[in-house]
Amino acid sequence: MVKIMKSKVETELQAFIGSDAYIHSEATSFVFVRNCKVNVTHAFIAGEGPFRVALRFDGHGWLRMEALTHYEIYANGRLLLAGYDDRGRMNVALHIGKEPFPE
């Protein structure tokens, strides 16, 4: 994973707008969602680092993740965003793709 480059991640997020996507999201506060199928209508990244990402679904709901620091783009079009603390521990993750994630 590499540190988030805002413009690059913004471009990757925009590619999901207008299409169905599968979400995997988790945080150390015991939040866990896997293979939640949504239609993305808006996608935003904000901040100067750590970053915030917000996704709007079908005009009816939002997912907002904060404290994101790193990203990775996979060959199959999946985007992984993660937030690490100053000790290198992952605290939050958002994985988005156009195909379901393995169970």
Q: Nearest 5°: CA angle at 70, between 93 and 68?
A: 55
Q: Has residue 48 been placed in a domain?
A: yes
For position 31, what pLDDT does the model report?
Answer: 85
pTM here is 0.92
User: Could you list the pLDDT tens digit for every one of the 103 residues in the chain?
Assistant: 999 999 999 999 999 999 999 999 999 878 888 999 999 999 999 999 999 999 999 878 999 999 999 999 998 889 999 999 999 999 999 999 999 998 7
Q: Has residue 102 been placed in a domain?
A: no
For position 41, what pLDDT does the model report?
Answer: 96
Cα 73 to chain centroid distance, Å, stands at 11
Q: Has residue 16 been placed in a domain?
A: yes
Q: What is the CATH number of the domain that holds 52?
A: 2.70.180.10
For position 1, what pLDDT does the model report?
Answer: 94
**Are the beta carbons of 78 and 100 closer than 8 angstroms?**
no
Q: Has residue 77 been placed in a domain?
A: yes
Domain enclosing residue 81, as ranges? 2-97
Number of domains comprising the chain: 1
For position 74, what pLDDT does the model report?
Answer: 94
